[in-house]
């Protein structure tokens, strides 16, 4: 089923991540937009959000309005790669091949760790439990 | 007074139950009456359901609480002290002085009818339920996804038109398991994306062991119970433990008057009846000469114990039979009852003397 839905289209409407937030603190809106529009340009509908920074419980929060996503997919909207991956992780779509490839690569060679220094007096460093 | 009677008979708790509507009122949350939700919990021989029976409940509280006769008895026990129900609460909001208006009788009746509705809302009792079973559903297990990330991904469905109780919240763990979120995760997510006023995302420190005790020692029962209502769902194990602790503390120290006109009195009474601790309360009623309340309490006991409504019409006889029969603290109750009867006899004598004198 996933192969029938184009995950990238050159024209038309697309469901993708728009990066908001600020430096060193990304926060994505899952939006439906025309492909040619900028990330800060007109948005047809915001259909969810994705917080890329894990919280104190080591969770990344993703809110998706699945009803509207279904509607837009039925209307012929495309999906960007990251959105398709997220929806695959959520169980709405089958697992994206890119997720499988990335998992395999990470297991073979762990990803480079960025040296995040704790900001004194404000937040402790992130706890990164390995699998 | 006839108008009050007709209005209260219209707004029966059964009608509210079938609607199962969500009441929200400024800072403190009122419950949807989970009538259809309770049906799922009712009869099961599952070992997990024994947890509600461990603290000494004789029956499943969810079954008993929603019965019409139990509800009417609890409402009668709570009473309707308008001054205390509508008292000004210190919530950090601006308090307004009372308004005085000149009205015709018809307008007064209209306002009274509105007040009835508000009173019913304010006195809506938070239900007494069994502890909920932990969620254990797993949707899929994909070990090939291990390593895609170090953190969990929590997905919540923010579609319109579904209640938070039915909202889909799933978690993809780093080991590749896709499961339904646990109750704590689910509540946290719903509070983040659909905040309920008065509720914090993480459980407040007030509900931890030592901190509750210090609140109770300061006699802040209504505050603790109201905050527990706002923070938790009624079948949350934390809610049940906090409320039980409060009820037991109030019972041990016999400080019923502060909770009497509130919406928490009904559930507290039912809790005491179910855990067979109602004698202190009966003692309190007899001492304060509130015979109606004492009789209603005994009727409630009979309804809960074996679904019977006692046949005695005379309230005094009803209470006597209870004290002679199923009561646990017989000596104290008998003493109180005897002294009450004597006072009652003297009062009647004085009354009849006065009548004779006036005649």
Kindly provide the ipTM of the predicted complex, given to two decimals: 0.81
Which of A106, A47, A97 lies closest to A72, judged by CA? A47
Number of CB atoms found within 10 A of residue B173's CB: 17
CA angle B202, B207, B210 (to 5 degrees): 130
Question: Which of A33-37, A70-74, B50-54, B240-244 shows the lowest mean pLDDT across its residues?
Answer: B50-54
Which whole number is the average pLDDT over B94-119? 93
- pLDDT for B53 beyond 50: no
Residue A128: both structure tokens together = 């990164």
User: What pLDDT is stored for residue A131 in this prediction?
Assistant: 38
- The DSSP bridge partners found for residue A48 are A30, A64
Which of B262, B268, B263 lies closest to B246, judged by CA? B268
DSSP assignments along B24-73, one per residue = EETTEE-----HHHHHHHSS---GGGGGGTTTT-SS-HHHHHT-HHHHHH
User: What pLDDT is stored for residue A120 in this prediction?
Assistant: 64
User: What pLDDT is stored for residue B81 in this prediction?
Assistant: 84
- Please state, in angstroms and rounded to a whole number, the distance separating the CA atoms of residues B60 and B127: 12
B159 with A66: Cβ contact below 8 A: yes
Contacts of B168 in chain A (CB under 8 A): 66
Share of chain B above pLDDT 90, in %: 45
The chain-wide mean pLDDT, for chain B, equals 82
Tell me the pLDDT tens digit for each residue of B133-183.
999 999 999 999 998 999 999 999 999 999 999 999 999 999 999 999 999
- Please state, in angstroms and rounded to a whole number, the distance separating the CA atoms of residues B8 and A74: 51
- Please state, in angstroms and rounded to a whole number, the distance separating the CA atoms of residues A14 and B267: 53
The bridge status of strand B152-157 relative to strand A59-64 is: parallel
- pLDDT for A27 beyond 70: yes
Residue B58: both structure tokens together = 């004789």
User: What pLDDT is stored for residue B93 in this prediction?
Assistant: 85
For A34, phi then psi, to 5°, come to: -75, 140
The nearest CA of chain A is from the CA of B142 a distance in Å of: 9
Q: How confident is the model at residue B117 (pLDDT cuts 50, 70, 90)?
A: very high
User: What pLDDT is stored for residue A73 in this prediction?
Assistant: 94
User: What pLDDT is stored for residue B10 in this prediction?
Assistant: 40
User: What pLDDT is stored for residue B3 in this prediction?
Assistant: 41
Q: List, as own/partner pairs, every contact residues B315-322 make where C-beta atoms lie below 8 angstroms and the sequence separation is at least 24, other chains included.
A: B315/B291, B316/B291, B316/B341, B319/B282, B319/B286, B319/B291, B319/B294, B319/B295, B322/B282, B322/B298
Question: Which of A77-81, A91-95, B323-327 shows the lowest mean pLDDT across its residues?
Answer: B323-327
User: What pLDDT is stored for residue B321 in this prediction?
Assistant: 81
Asked whether the beta carbons of A103 and B147 are under 8 A apart, the reply is: yes
Which whole number is the average pLDDT over A59-87? 95
Residue A18: both structure tokens together = 């728009």
Tell me the pLDDT tens digit for each residue of B19-52.
333 443 334 444 544 444 443 443 333 334 444 4
Length of chain B: 359
A62 with B145: Cβ contact below 8 A: no
Would you give the distance in Å from CA B282 to the centre of its chain?
19
Asked whether the beta carbons of B4 and B110 are under 8 A apart, the reply is: no
Question: Which of B54-58, B208-212, B287-291, B331-335 shows the lowest mean pLDDT across its residues?
Answer: B54-58
Which residue among A57, A60, A91 sits closest to B139, beta carbon to beta carbon?
A91
A103 with B145: Cβ contact below 8 A: yes
Q: How confident is the model at residue A125 (pLDDT cuts 50, 70, 90)?
A: low
Contacts of A90 in chain B (CB under 8 A): 153, 155, 170, 172, 178
* Residues contacting A57, CB < 8 A, separation 6+: B152
B145 with A89: Cβ contact below 8 A: yes
- Please state, in angstroms and rounded to a whole number, the distance separating the CA atoms of residues B88 and B91: 9
A130 with B160: Cβ contact below 8 A: no
B172 with A89: Cβ contact below 8 A: yes
Tell me the pLDDT tens digit for each residue of B75-101.
999 988 888 888 888 878 888 888 899
A98 shares contact with chain B (CB less than 8 Å):
no
The residue among A9 and B11 whose pLDDT is bigger is: A9
- Sign for the CA dihedral angle at A36, A41, A46, A49 comes to positive
Interface test with B, best of A89, A114, A125 (most B CBs within 10 A): A89
A58 with B159: Cβ contact below 8 A: no
- Please state, in angstroms and rounded to a whole number, the distance separating the CA atoms of residues B22 and B122: 14
User: What pLDDT is stored for residue A63 in this prediction?
Assistant: 97
B151 with A103: Cβ contact below 8 A: no
B156 shares contact with chain A (CB less than 8 Å):
yes
Number of CB atoms found within 10 A of residue A114's CB: 6
- Please state, in angstroms and rounded to a whole number, the distance separating the CA atoms of residues B31 and B17: 10
Asked whether the beta carbons of B315 and B295 are under 8 A apart, the reply is: yes
User: What pLDDT is stored for residue B55 in this prediction?
Assistant: 57
The residue among B324 and B26 whose pLDDT is bigger is: B324
- How many Cβ pairs within 8 Å bridge chains A and B? 91
User: What pLDDT is stored for residue A9 in this prediction?
Assistant: 57
Which residue among B149, B150, B170 sits closest to A91, beta carbon to beta carbon?
B170
The chain-wide mean pLDDT, for chain A, equals 85
Question: Which CATH number describes the domain made up of A13-79?
Answer: 3.30.1320.10
User: What pLDDT is stored for residue B324 in this prediction?
Assistant: 82
- Please state, in angstroms and rounded to a whole number, the distance separating the CA atoms of residues B338 and B82: 33
| Surface-to-core class of residue B94, CB atoms within 10 Å of its CB (0-12 exposed, 13-18 middle, 19+ buried) | exposed
Q: List, as own/partner pairs, every contact residues B9-12 make where C-beta atoms lie below 8 angstroms and the sequence separation is at least 24, other chains included.
A: B11/B116, B11/B117, B11/B120, B12/B68
**Residue ranges covered by each domain of chain A:** 13-79
- pTM for the whole thing? 0.77
A53 shares contact with chain B (CB less than 8 Å):
no
């Amino acid at each position: 089923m996933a192969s029938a839905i184009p995950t990238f289209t050159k024209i038309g409407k697309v469901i993708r991540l728009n990066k908001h937030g600020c430096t060193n603190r990304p926060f994505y809106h899952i939006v439906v937009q025309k492909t040619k529009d900028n990330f800060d340009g007109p948005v047809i509908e915001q259909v969810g959000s994705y917080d890329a920074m894990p919280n104190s419980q080591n969770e990344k929060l993703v809110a998706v309005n699945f009803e509207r996503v279904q509607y837009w997919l039925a209307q012929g909207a495309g999906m960007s790669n990251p959105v398709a991956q997220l929806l695959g992780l959520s169980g709405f779509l089958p697992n994206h091949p890119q997720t499988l490839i990335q998992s395999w690569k990470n297991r073979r060679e762990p990803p480079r760790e960025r040296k995040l220094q704790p900001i004194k007096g404000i937040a402790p460093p992130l706890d990164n439990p390995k699998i | 007074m006839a108008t009050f009677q007709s209005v209260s008979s219209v707004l029966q708790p059964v009608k509210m139950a079938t609607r199962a509507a969500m009441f929200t009122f400024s800072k403190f949350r009122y419950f949807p009456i989970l009538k259809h939700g309770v049906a799922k919990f009712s009869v099961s021989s599952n070992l997990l359901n024994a947890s509600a029976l461990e603290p000494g409940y004789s029956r499943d509280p969810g079954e008993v609480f929603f019965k019409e006769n139990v509800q009417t008895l609890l409402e009668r026990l709570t009473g309707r002290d308008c001054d205390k129900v509508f008292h000004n609460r210190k919530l950090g909001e601006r308090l307004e002085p009372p308004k005085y208006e000149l009205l015709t009788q018809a307008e007064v009746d209209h306002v009274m009818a509105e007040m009835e509705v508000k009173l019913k809302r304010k006195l809506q009792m938070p239900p007494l339920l069994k502890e909920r079973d932990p969620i254990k559903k797993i949707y899929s297990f994909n070990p090939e996804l291990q390593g895609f990330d170090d953190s969990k991904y929590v997905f919540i469905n923010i579609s319109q038109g579904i209640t938070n109780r039915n909202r889909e919240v799933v978690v993809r763990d780093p080991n590749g398991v896709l499961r339904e979120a646990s109750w704590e995760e689910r509540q946290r997510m719903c509070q983040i994306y659909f905040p309920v006023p008065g509720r914090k995302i993480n459980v407040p420190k007030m509900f931890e062991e030592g901190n509750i005790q210090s609140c109770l020692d300061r006699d802040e029962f209504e505050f603790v119970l109201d905050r527990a209502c706002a923070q938790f769902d009624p079948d949350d194990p934390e809610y049940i433990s906090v409320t039980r602790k409060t009820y037991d503390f109030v019972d041990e120290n016999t400080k019923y008057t502060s909770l009497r006109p509130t919406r928490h009195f009904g559930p507290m009474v039912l809790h005491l009846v179910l855990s067979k601790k109602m004698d202190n309360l009966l003692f309190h009623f007899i001492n304060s000469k509130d015979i109606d309340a004492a009789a209603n309490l005994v009727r409630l006991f009979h309804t809960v114990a074996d679904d019977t409504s006692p046949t005695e019409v005379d309230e005094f006889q009803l209470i006597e039979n209870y004290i002679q029969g199923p009561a646990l603290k017989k000596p104290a109750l008998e003493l109180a009852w005897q002294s009450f009867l004597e006072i009652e006899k003297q009062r009647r004598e004085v009354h009849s003397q006065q009548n004779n004198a006036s005649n």
